[in-house]
Amino acid sequence: MFLPGTRTWDLGRLVSCFLPWEADMVRKIQVCADGEEDILIWPLTTDGDYSVRSAYRMLVDNGTQSLPSSFAPNGDGFMWKKILKVWVPHKIRHFLWRAAKDSLPTK
């Protein structure tokens, strides 16, 4: 998407590959002039590495944990406890949890 041999956007190519508003947004992305490689940084940990713990804390802090769970102090979490006891691979347990969560009525 850059002009050959440069780190400058090729506007003609952007317009041909994207819708006009998308091309405008891409064009506004600042490009590092010294050519350093991009790195992924998770902003919620001190070392920049993603952790499930940090994501969980983010969700709890944002109040998005409004659904009942087996760990909720106020609910019995019957369904969640049953899912946690099923001896299946974790990805299957996750699928069961998602299916049960999606079947709950929304508030």
* Domain count for the chain: 3
The pair of structure tokens assigned to 99 is 């299916």
Q: What pLDDT does residue 47 have?
A: 92
Beta bridge partners of 9: 2
Q: Domain check: are 62 and 85 in the same one?
A: no
List all residues 6 or more positions away from 106 whose beta carbon is below 8 Å from its beta carbon.
none
CB 80, CB 97: distance < 8 Å: yes
Ramachandran bin of 63, using left for φ above 0, alpha for ψ from -120 to 50, beta for the remaining angles: left
Same domain, 15 and 34: yes
Domain that holds residue 53: 39-66
- Token readout for 16 is 């041909």
Q: Is 45 in the same domain as 79?
A: no
**What pTM was computed for the model?**
0.36
Report the pLDDT averaged over residues 38-56: 87
Average pLDDT value for residue range 2-28: 90
